[in-house]
């Protein structure tokens, strides 16, 4: 069982000699949480996963927002499907642990469910949907993981409704990032056309609070 948020914040603040403050919420004035200070460098270890996934555990930073309960949505802030395809994926349950690989798998499932809903109204239906992405997970606190994707793109097959065989589609390329803590999950997205460097946005300052977890 995880320690409470109060215990986590107290231990982080005591160890680093700083206080944590700030919160993110949808519809706020756009102010970002205090970035705090960066902890001393720690040995970096990198484990390369299969296919396009890279998991990195590096320097910890206390720049983790504190969740304001009043900002928590009643339901996850995800696109509303224009149709309800039978195969639409559910929003995943919160990760059971905070090792990088577990959170990375959670974010990949969340992003797939998010984009599948976003594309649900395209054509007469999408019999085949894929989401390609290159991802990296980095711990930014004892119970906080930042997952970034330098590249992501939806693609698959679409029913155009004109009697022809299913056509193929490629979505616009984009970059995204998630911050997952024991309390909540934030998401930020940016078109690669607007981010030529490919740097993902920071969900702590540019993101939307998608969902809060029950304590």
Average pLDDT over residues 119-128: 84
Q: Whole-angstrom Cα distance, residue 53 to residue 45? A: 15
Strand partners, 66: none
pLDDT of 212: 95
Rounded percentage of the chain residues whose pLDDT exceeds 70:
66
Q: 75-81: list long-range contacts, CB under 8 Å, 24+ apart.
A: 76/210, 76/211, 77/26, 77/208, 77/209, 77/210, 77/211, 78/113, 78/114, 78/117, 78/210, 79/114, 79/117, 79/118, 79/120, 80/117, 81/117, 81/120, 81/121
- pTM here is 0.70
pLDDT of 64: 79
pLDDT of 124: 79
pLDDT one-digit tens code per residue, 61-85: 336 777 788 889 999 999 988 766 6
Average pLDDT over residues 32-61: 34
3-class secondary structure per residue, 35-68: CCCCCCCCCCEEEECCCCEEEEECCCCCCCCCCC
pLDDT of 198: 65
Closest listed residue to residue 117, CA positions, set 75, 155, 85, 146: 85
Average pLDDT over residues 197-202: 80
Could you tell me if 127 and 159 are in contact, meaning their C-beta atoms sit under 8 angstroms apart? Answer: yes
pLDDT tier at 38 (50, 70, 90 boundaries)? very low
Average pLDDT over residues 27-39: 35
Mean pLDDT of the chain: 74
Of 39-43, 120-124, 137-141, least confident by mean pLDDT is 39-43
Strand partners, 211: 185
pLDDT one-digit tens code per residue, 83-97: 666 668 899 999 999
Domain ranges of the chain: 5-212
- Higher per-residue confidence, 16 vs 84: 84
pLDDT of 138: 94
pLDDT of 66: 76
Q: Whole-angstrom Cα distance, residue 73 to residue 65? A: 16
Q: Return the CA Rg of the chain.
A: 18
Average pLDDT over residues 106-113: 97
Could you tell me if 8 and 15 are in contact, meaning their C-beta atoms sit under 8 angstroms apart? Answer: no
């Amino acid at each position: 069982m995880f320690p409470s948020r109060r215990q986590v914040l107290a231990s982080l603040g005591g160890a680093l000699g700083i206080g944590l403050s700030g919160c993110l919420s949808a519809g706020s004035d756009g102010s970002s949480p205090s970035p705090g200070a960066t902890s001393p460098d720690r040995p970096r270890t990198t484990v390369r996963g299969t296919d396009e996934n890279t998991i990195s555990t590096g320097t910890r930073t206390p720049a983790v927002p504190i969740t304001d309960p009043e900002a928590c949505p009643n339901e996850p802030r995800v696109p509303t499907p224009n149709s309800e395809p039978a195969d639409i994926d559910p929003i995943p349950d919160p990760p059971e642990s905070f090792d990088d690989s577990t959170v990375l798998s959670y974010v990949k499932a969340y992003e797939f469910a998010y984009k599948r809903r976003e594309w649900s109204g395209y054509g007469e239906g999408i019999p085949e949907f894929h989401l390609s992405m290159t991802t990296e997970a980095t711990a930014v606190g004892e119970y906080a993981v930042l997952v970034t994707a330098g590249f992501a793109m939806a693609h698959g097959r679409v029913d155009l409704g004109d009697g022809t065989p299913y056509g193929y589609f490629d979505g616009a390329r984009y970059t995204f990032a998630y911050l997952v803590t024991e309390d909540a999950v934030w998401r930020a997205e940016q078109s690669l056309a607007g981010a030529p460097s490919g740097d993902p946005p920071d969900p702590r300052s540019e993101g939307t609070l998608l969902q809060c977890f029950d304590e």
